[in-house]
Structure 1
Amino acid sequence: MKCEAAKLTDVFGSNVFNDAVMRERLPKATYKALKKTIDEGLPLDPAVAEVVASAMKDWAIEKGATHYTHWFQPMTGVTAEKHDSFISPTAEGKVIMEFSGKELIKGEPDASSFPSGGLRATFEARGYTTWDCTSPAFLKEDAAGVTLCIPTAFCSYTGEALDKKTPLLRSMEALSKQALRVLRLFGNTTATRVISTVGPEQEYFLVDRELYNKRKDLVFTGRTLFGAKPPKGQELEDHYFGTLKERISAFMKELNIELWKLGVSAKTQHNEVAPAQHEIAPIFSTTNIATDHNQLTMEMLKKVAARHGLACLLHEKPFAGINGSGKHNNWSMSTNDGQNLLDPGHTPHENAQFLVFLCAVIKAIDDYAELLRVSAANPGNDHRLGANEAPPAIISVFLGEQLTDILEQLEVAGTAKSSKQGGELKIGVSTLPALPKDTTDRNRTSPFAFTGNKFEFRMVPSSASISGPNVVLNTIVAETLCQIADRLEGASDFNAEVQALLKEIVVNHKRVIFNGNGYSEEWVEEAERRGLPNIKSTVEAIPYLISEKSIKLFEKHKVFSSTELHSRYEIHLENYIKQINIEALTMLDMAKRQILPAVVKYTNELASSINAVKAAGVDADISVQEEMLREVSATLVSFKKNIATLEKVTAEAANMHGDTYKQACFYRDEVFAAMGRLRVDGDKLETLVDAALWPMPTYAELLFYV
């Protein structure tokens, strides 16, 4: 697929029913009414939807579409779609192409077949999808043809949210409402909305597809359950930002074109730290659209990889012993009149509005650290967080030297008088220009780091939707802004109250600010002294979803009801249980049907070789062969015992009923632990058995034969 640079502007967004297309194809009054709904959150007029549906259909058909779908994001973490054709039969036995406003606005998928956490039973199947006009419709092109995809929210017959989009939209409204209250106090009368914005960096692995298909663990679980360390890993640090292999470069080229056609502003691409690991990053957009685009990005990564004979791995830890993958969630707040509320400006100590919003975020992170940790929790991330390759499980905020100095001034004096400046960096070579130096260094060990005009939440799992973390960020910041607005609206002396408020927040929440090495054991000890939570596993994190504090927060801002939170509590626990169970069953299958037969065959060959030498009457020392046989046999005995143990605890776990949390804890403490012991023996056997007999591709092949 070709895309010349000169034609890139024509390619970008060519498959999107975007603002330019709407302005061209909709009547002026309809366009204005729809824009008011999108920009100002006004209710959608059904008459507007009827006109939009007709224009959308004509546009899609002109581009080859025969079907449409309500594209939604259920609690599976991936997207869902049911395709309907545009055809409508006529009395003459012909068909015409139709698409009504009702069909645009409303769909009815089966709600009982998606995770609902008890909100829907099998006999209560009705669910609804409803058009989200704030995210533009788009066309998908594949072997089946062209399909019009309409972004939608998904709810149950009784109105509860069953998806990732609905709570996100609610949280965006909550943040906007409270942020506007604060802005009005600072004299801003032009902004009518505050929008959270996100730029999610996506990490992923690429492996040869033929090798991938020979690994049951990769096919069924997304990660390797066995695998000895290869002779070379990432220790030479030569892969990060290294020259792209042509096969990878060709993949990235096609990926960019496919994403650009969908309006995804893919901007940056490079090799990541681990061999076979890469990253793609877009330009910022509104959180809702960024979430939709990230789902499309993950889908396209897999589709385009397959076209190039590759398999894309989005699991957080596909390979033991080398870095896993995350998704850096770069979050900020902007007004619809173009102001970034987290931009400090040149003299941040004088920018009271910025300092208020900054301190609101700091307070939110400290007050609701447990919720933020839950939002980054999944079984894959349990392998990664705190593993000296990703942020620790302890939530802290990195601010850097300039902002930390300003907050220290506020704490001591109640006001800030100066801001540290970056100056120039002179490299010492006359032909190299002096560089403007940033006011602070970066900290890649921090889970929540300020990076100039945004916060980078680095804990997000690579395979997960970014909806959950941003729902939490939007809502907790909305709550602290609400508290700030309540206080400042009643102040007799606004400026004095702002200074008092800032000092109070710094004093009460400075414990969450940490600019040092988040990987060190010293920080773990220091964080404990500060009283910061250290939630080490997904199972440990999930109950915070339904704490009294969380329910009160989400219900206050109408993001989740108590019922919706309890449903997500059940869904997260069930997902953990199912994923670990699938991994255990896959591991047992590989151990019994692949590794055991290969090792038995090898021991037979060793024994036959020893007996053959003895039978020949040759005066030879066969102690080496006998030692090899003893070592392999001893490891095989241990391997077989660990298979039996894993079988026993997996069966016991599967038969536990009633208390889902207790069952999840058993999977973590017993099943997962037994898997680890079995893996130790399996990986040792890989290093002992003849390579020609080993039944699956090795790490060396998977990571370097791309």
Structure 2
Amino acid sequence: MLKADCKKKNSSYALLSFNRSSMRDKLPQDVYFALLKTIEKNEPLNPKLANAIAHGMKEWAIELGATHYTHWFQPLTGFTAEKHDSFLTIDLDGDVFERFSGNQLIMSEPDASSFPSGGMRSTFEARGYTAWDPSSPAFILISGTDATLCIPSLFFSYYGEALDEKTPLLRSCEALSKAAVNLLHLLGKTEITHVDPMVGAEQEFFLVDYELFKQRPDLLFCGRTLIGMQPPKGQQLEDHYFGAIPQQVMEFLETLENQATLLGIPIKTRHNEVAPQQFEVACLHEHANIACDHNLLLMELMRRSAVEHGLKLLLHEKPFAGVNGSGKHNNWSLRDSAGNNLLDPGSEPKANLQFLLFLVAVVKAVHDHADLFKASVASAGNDHRLGACEAPPSIISVFLGKQLDEILSKIEQDEKHYQSEANFVDLGLSRLPRILIDNTDRNRTSPFAFTGNKFEFRAVPSSIPLGFPNTVLNLAVADSINQICTLLETNLQTADSEQTAIMQTIKHFISESKPIRYEGDNYISSWQEEACERKLNNSSNAPSALLALISESTSSLFDKYSVLTHTELEARYRIKLDQYIKQLSIEANTLLHLIRGYLIPSALSYLHLHAVPETCSDSVKACYKSVDSVLVNLIAQTEKLEDDLVQISTFDNDVQQADYFASSITSHMLSCRTFCDVLELKLGKKLYPMPSYHDLLFSFIK
């Protein structure tokens, strides 16, 4: 039975994806091969072929039950967007038929007036366009009995400004491919035609009971708890991590994986995470563009699947205080057109000069643009996560592992010999052979770590799209590869051998990027002091980190490769700053709502119900008075928070508002929370007006 189910699952893989197999079945042969050239080699698609492609796509979609189509795009909201149109058409005689033309496939015009533009256009200028991205497969999204053909698309303004996540990502992929191919050609690999950035995302998340969720206004409005006393047991015993997955969650995961399988989303791994009711799913590596699309689609499937099973998905970076937050570890590598992983060190890393060139290119990229890497993951939610409970710190650094770090150090010091041996572990059991282990351990505290044959960008928050962090990563690496090519070309002309020229180049970039490498514990306080000596940025909040988006170096980098203009970068800065302000404003007002509407009335009820007669002992009277004292302090802190929100309206611009939220309002919110949590303990379960952490984090225990 299980074997049959497995075969059925495999046969339905990507059934709802217009992938190469579906294209081959539905498109004329010449059209199919022309489209493949566009996908694989970035060759322009002949517009004359669009009608044939649209017809084949429509026939495929209708056979699978689709009645509508939409250009599925990624505006700068952190979510996806879609406007559905039916295939229905009426001719001059009034006859109804289904039609989908090449023009409808290639471009659409949704109303763009309400999407964020960061000041690039006025609200009354409503025109915006979506353009089909042929490199990402169209798919059919089923909701209830409805099926819609979704066409992954770019989104841009009337004047051509990029208004989405996908456009700069695709441009960065092209820049990276061009640079990497150039380097490989210098190394004699002239048969390589393109290089693709490959991404495999690890998506962390929490699940809570849906009925309990609805009783928490903070979770409902903010995605995280603003108050809540931590239960006696949290994650101290580490008994949830990799433990048996609860039945209710397994049912959710089965639904999720079935839907993902149909859409061609390659979920590989599922497991319990560290915190109670925290979990993770991870996907196989795909081209960065497709992986980013799939991650956004996966998050939507997770939301829907959770509701089907009476659960609520929480993607916020820190929904609960005192336990681990959630990230989206972005595993990144490079694959050439022959299928080789350029970040695979092989059995002898030092002998693999090509690997070392690409390795130092990535390290140099992070070194040169660490502030930009930090800005790409900065958000109100990530401010709560970074540097706490196993999350990486706010200081960007690179971890390579003992073996690679020693190799780079010896190359820098001109040491000619380095003995590298395979690492084995003997478990002391006669029935088990010696086990070959990786050439590096993992550093869970590092924000950017090499993990065997890929880099893991661990600072990426769980709730955001992967597009912009990967745009930054691709672009920064492309720039460092081009710097390597320039120096290598010079060294090849002057050195006595190709190997000498390559080693000279590697040594130069090892020395230049050395300050960004750190092999230790990123949590210890001495690292912050050392990072300061190395002149590494330690911006403490999102508003300060986001300034890197409008720096001269960032503008120069993006302009050099025609990925985003200075105007488009500034717009993204304004949008992210505006989102930060709005998010914290919602949180502050929600906290006031909880205090004024829930906690203060409950505390007054307690005082009314527990009037203490004079004959009571002093300890009982003290208990009663302590509630009164906490309530007085809470009201005083609440009034300070209210004054803060009034003060915000007096500032002239969003930069001042964001800084005030970061410096003053968040501090007063924490002060309010302290008294709210003490009050929860004193009120008791009967009078506390909402589900507690105990209820929310242990609801799956049967």
Q: In which range does the TM-score fall when normalised by the shorter chain?
A: over 0.9
Deviation at 1:430, TM superposition (A): 1.5
Residues 406 and 419, structure 1, Cα contact 8 Å, conserved in 2: no
- Match for residue 162 of structure 1? 163
Residues 77 and 464, structure 1, Cα contact 8 Å, conserved in 2: yes
**Counterpart Cα distance in 2 of 1:275 and 1:549:** 43
**Counterpart Cα distance in 2 of 1:336 and 1:500:** 27
Deviation at 1:655, TM superposition (A): 4.3
Matching of residues 518-537 of structure 1 within 5 Å:
518-537=522-541
Deviation at 1:501, TM superposition (A): 1.5
Higher mean C-alpha displacement, 621-630 vs 72-81 = 621-630
* 1:544 is aligned to 2:539: no
Higher mean C-alpha displacement, 311-320 vs 503-512 = 503-512
- Match for residue 18 of structure 1? 19
**Counterpart Cα distance in 2 of 1:425 and 1:691:** 51
Matching of residues 143-222 of structure 1 within 5 Å:
143=144, 145-222=146-223
Deviation at 1:416, TM superposition (A): 4.9
| SS of the residue 1:113 aligns to | coil
Deviation at 1:423, TM superposition (A): 3.1
Deviation at 1:485, TM superposition (A): 1.2
Deviation at 1:621, TM superposition (A): 3.4
One-letter amino acid of the counterpart of residue 539, structure 1: P
Residues 535 and 541, structure 1, Cα contact 8 Å, conserved in 2: yes
- Match for residue 462 of structure 2? 462
**Counterpart Cα distance in 2 of 1:534 and 1:690:** 41
Which residue, out of 610, 629, 633, partners 1:638? 633
**Counterpart Cα distance in 2 of 1:42 and 1:531:** 44
- Match for residue 594 of structure 2? 590
One-letter amino acid of the counterpart of residue 447, structure 1: P
**Counterpart Cα distance in 2 of 1:558 and 1:382:** 31
Residues 87 and 96, structure 1, Cα contact 8 Å, conserved in 2: yes
- Match for residue 692 of structure 1? 686
Higher mean C-alpha displacement, 529-538 vs 157-166 = 529-538
- Match for residue 231 of structure 2? 230
Deviation at 1:146, TM superposition (A): 0.3
Residues 325 and 389, structure 2, Cα contact 8 Å, conserved in 1: no
Residues 229 and 681, structure 2, Cα contact 8 Å, conserved in 1: yes
**Counterpart Cα distance in 1 of 2:678 and 2:304:** 35
* 1:446 is aligned to 2:440: no
| SS of the residue 2:544 aligns to | helix
| SS of the residue 1:442 aligns to | coil
- Match for residue 609 of structure 2? 605
* 1:292 is aligned to 2:293: yes
Residues 259 and 266, structure 1, Cα contact 8 Å, conserved in 2: yes
- Match for residue 375 of structure 2? 374
Unaligned runs of 5+ residues in structure 1 are: 615-619
1:429-481 per-position Cα deviation (integer Å, ceiling 9, x unaligned): 11223211222211111111111110001000000111111111000111111
Deviation at 1:144, TM superposition (A): 5.2
Deviation at 1:531, TM superposition (A): 1.8
Deviation at 1:349, TM superposition (A): 0.8
**Counterpart Cα distance in 2 of 1:432 and 1:547:** 56
Higher mean C-alpha displacement, 394-403 vs 630-639 = 394-403
Matching of residues 196-595 of structure 1 within 5 Å:
196-413=197-414, 416-490=416-490, 491-492=492-493, 493=495, 494-595=498-599
**Counterpart Cα distance in 2 of 1:167 and 1:294:** 17
- Match for residue 617 of structure 1? none
Residues 15 and 261, structure 1, Cα contact 8 Å, conserved in 2: yes
| SS of the residue 2:188 aligns to | coil
**Counterpart Cα distance in 2 of 1:62 and 1:583:** 47
Percentage identity across paired residues of the two chains? 48
**Counterpart Cα distance in 1 of 2:166 and 2:696:** 36
| SS of the residue 1:690 aligns to | helix
**Counterpart Cα distance in 1 of 2:94 and 2:366:** 63
Residues 440 and 451, structure 2, Cα contact 8 Å, conserved in 1: no
TM-score, with length taken from structure 2: 0.97
One-letter amino acid of the counterpart of residue 89, structure 1: I
**Counterpart Cα distance in 1 of 2:616 and 2:217:** 41
1:344-390 per-position Cα deviation (integer Å, ceiling 9, x unaligned): 11111111111111111111111111000111111011011111421
Residues 547 and 573, structure 2, Cα contact 8 Å, conserved in 1: yes
* 1:673 is aligned to 2:677: no
Deviation at 1:654, TM superposition (A): 3.6
Residues 347 and 422, structure 2, Cα contact 8 Å, conserved in 1: no
- Match for residue 650 of structure 1? 645
**Counterpart Cα distance in 2 of 1:578 and 1:683:** 25
Deviation at 1:186, TM superposition (A): 0.6
* 1:664 is aligned to 2:664: no
Residues 342 and 354, structure 1, Cα contact 8 Å, conserved in 2: yes
**Counterpart Cα distance in 1 of 2:71 and 2:540:** 38
- Match for residue 36 of structure 2? 35
Deviation at 1:624, TM superposition (A): 3.2
1:9-37 per-position Cα deviation (integer Å, ceiling 9, x unaligned): 21110100000010111111000110000
Higher mean C-alpha displacement, 286-295 vs 436-445 = 436-445
Higher mean C-alpha displacement, 211-220 vs 185-194 = 185-194
**Counterpart Cα distance in 2 of 1:359 and 1:503:** 9
* 1:85 is aligned to 2:80: no
**Counterpart Cα distance in 2 of 1:638 and 1:287:** 51
Residues 406 and 416, structure 1, Cα contact 8 Å, conserved in 2: no
Equivalenced residues, count: 694
User: Stretches of 4+ moved more than 4 A in 1?
Assistant: none
Residues 388 and 519, structure 1, Cα contact 8 Å, conserved in 2: no
Higher mean C-alpha displacement, 66-75 vs 402-411 = 402-411
| SS of the residue 2:67 aligns to | strand
One-letter amino acid of the counterpart of residue 538, structure 2: N
**Counterpart Cα distance in 2 of 1:640 and 1:419:** 67
One-letter amino acid of the counterpart of residue 684, structure 1: V
Residues 333 and 453, structure 2, Cα contact 8 Å, conserved in 1: yes
Unaligned runs of 5+ residues in structure 2 are: none
- Match for residue 46 of structure 1? 47
| SS of the residue 1:601 aligns to | helix
- Match for residue 64 of structure 1? 65
One-letter amino acid of the counterpart of residue 63, structure 1: L
**Counterpart Cα distance in 2 of 1:21 and 1:209:** 38
| SS of the residue 2:197 aligns to | strand
* 1:115 is aligned to 2:136: no
| SS of the residue 1:211 aligns to | helix
| SS of the residue 2:154 aligns to | strand
1:574-600 per-position Cα deviation (integer Å, ceiling 9, x unaligned): 010000000011111111111111111
Q: CA 1:419 to 1:578, structure 2 compared with 1: closer, same or farther past 3 Å? A: farther
Deviation at 1:637, TM superposition (A): 0.6
Over aligned residues, Cα RMSD in angstroms? 1.3
| SS of the residue 1:299 aligns to | helix
- Match for residue 683 of structure 1? 677
Deviation at 1:419, TM superposition (A): 4.8
Residues 350 and 416, structure 1, Cα contact 8 Å, conserved in 2: no
One-letter amino acid of the counterpart of residue 514, structure 2: K
One-letter amino acid of the counterpart of residue 564, structure 1: E
**Counterpart Cα distance in 1 of 2:655 and 2:217:** 29
Residues 347 and 419, structure 1, Cα contact 8 Å, conserved in 2: no
Residues 76 and 115, structure 1, Cα contact 8 Å, conserved in 2: yes
Deviation at 1:422, TM superposition (A): 2.9
**Counterpart Cα distance in 2 of 1:273 and 1:654:** 41
Deviation at 1:546, TM superposition (A): 0.7
Q: CA 1:602 to 1:416, structure 2 compared with 1: closer, same or farther past 3 Å? A: farther
| SS of the residue 1:15 aligns to | coil
Residues 349 and 419, structure 1, Cα contact 8 Å, conserved in 2: no
One-letter amino acid of the counterpart of residue 699, structure 1: Y
Deviation at 1:622, TM superposition (A): 3.5
